[in-house]
Amino acid sequence: MVPTMDSASQQSASSPGPASRGETAAAAEGAEMPSTPCVEIADFNAWYGDFQAIHQLSLNIPNNKVTAFIGPSGCGKSTLLKWINRMNDVIPSARAQGHMVLKAISANSEFASPARATETDILAADTDVVSLRRRIGIVFQKPNPFPKSIYQNVAFGPHLHLNASRREMDELVEWALRKAALWDEVKDRLQQSALGLSGGQQQRLCIARAIAIGPEILLMDEPCSALDPASTSRIEDLIYELGKQYTIVIVTHNMQQASRVSDLTAFFYQGRLVESGATEQIFTKPKEKQTEDYVTGKFG
C-alpha cells in the first residue's frame, strides 16, 4: 500500500503510485463511466474466417483515461484491441462489421498532425490505415524492437511520417525516451543495438517508439506478460504516468495489474462484453455474476 497522504494537493504534487490510481479515479468520478468517448464502438462483430470472435459489442473508450480489457483467453479482448487500429488487416481471414469511430476529441492538442481532430470511421473501407495507425499506436505482448540501434528504433516512426532535421530528430528521440523513462539508462549508448537491452528496457523502448509519432491513443496488448516482476512494475508506473496525457487501452490477464493501472475496466467473456465501468466498481461491486466469479478467481 502507498502511504496515506494528508491532503489532496500533497497527493498530486508527489504523484502517487499506481496502487492508488483506481481508488482516486473512483473517488473523483464515482462509479459512472465518463461521458466523453475517444473511441465509440457499437454493434461490433468480428470474424476469423467463419468463426465469430466478437458478438454485438458496444463500448465507449473514454478520452485521457486508462481502460483495461480483462477476461479469460479467447474472449475476444485482443481481437477488439487490434481492430481499433486495424492491425487485424494483416490476418487474411479477419473481417469485422459495425460502428467504430475515432472521435475528434484531442486533449493533447499540442501535437500537430494532418488527421488529428477529425472524426474517423475506423472500419470504413477507405480509411487511411497509415494515418489511423499514426493516431493510434500499439505496443505488443512481446518486446519487438527492430534489430537496429536504440536511436534508429525510436526514430523509425518519425522518419516515416515527419520531416525532421537531424537536430529535431535528436530532440524528438530524447523526448520520447524520457517519456518512456528510459533516457537515463540508454543516453550513453544510443547507437548500440536495441537487442542488447533487457526485456523490460526493450518493452519501454517499444513504448518510446510508439509515442515518438505523437499518437492520441496507445493500445497495449498484455505489455507485461513476457516480463519479470521488477520490469512489470516499472512499466506499470510508466502506464500510470502516460495515462495522464494519453488515452490508453490495455489488455491484461493480470487482474491486480488492471486494478493498479486502469481507471475503467471492461470484462469480456466468450466474445461478448459482460460488464464495463469504473475499475473500483468492477473489482468491488460487480453487477454481473460472471464478472464477480472472474475477478474473485473462481474461473479463468
Partner 1 sequence: MTLPAALRRDDRVAQAAKAKHRKRLSYAFYLLCVLIAMLSVVVLVVLLLSISVQGSSRLSTDLLTQSHSELRPAEAGMWPAIIGTLFICGVCALTALPLGIGTAVFLEEFKPRRSELRLLRKWIRLPSQTWNGIANGLFRALRWFHGFIQLNISNLAGVPSIVYGLLGLSLFVYMFNVFGQIKVNEADGWELFGVQHYYQVLSLERGQVVLIPMEEGDPPTKKITQPLAGVTTAGQPIEIQVWQPGTPKPTGAVERRQTVRKGATGGRYSRHAWYYFRLPFGRSFLAAGLTLSLVILPLVIISTQEALRAVPPSMREASLGLGATTWQTTREVCLPAAVPGIMTGSILSMGRAIGEAAPLLVILGAAIAKNSGPKHLMDDAVTMPVLIYNWAGRQQEVYQELAAAAIIVLLVVLLIMNSLAIYLRQRLRQK
Q: Which residues bind partner 1 (CB under 8 A)?
A: 85-87, 89-90, 92-95, 97, 125-126, 129-134, 137-138, 140, 142, 144-147, 156-157, 160-161, 206, 209-210, 213
When the beta carbons of 151 and 267 are compared against partner 1, the nearer one is 151
Shortest spacing between CB 256 and partner 1, in angstroms: 26
> Which residue's CB is nearer to partner 1, number 36 or number 97?
97
CA dihedral 287, 34, 238, 6 (to 10 degrees): -90
Residue whose cell numbers read 473481417: 95
Task: Report the phi/psi class of residue 270: left, alpha or beta, with left for phi > 0 and alpha for psi in -120 to 50.
Answer: left
199, three cell numbers: 526485456
Backbone angles phi and psi of 69, in degrees to 5: -100, 120
Whole-angstrom Cα distance, residue 78 to residue 110? 30
C-alpha cell at 8: 489532496
Q: How far is the CB of 130 from partner 1 (least distance, A)?
A: 5
Q: Closer to partner 1 by CB, 5 or 226: give it.
A: 226
- Least distance (Å) between residue 125 CB and partner 1: 4
Task: Report, in Å, the least distance between residue 1 CB and partner 1.
Answer: 36
Nearer to partner 1, 91 or 104 (CB): 91
Compare residues 83 and 268 and give the one whose CB is closer to partner 1. Answer: 83
Q: Which amino acid is at 161?
A: H
Closest CB 105 distance from partner 1, rounded Å: 21
Give dist(CA 56, CA 185) in Å, integer.
45
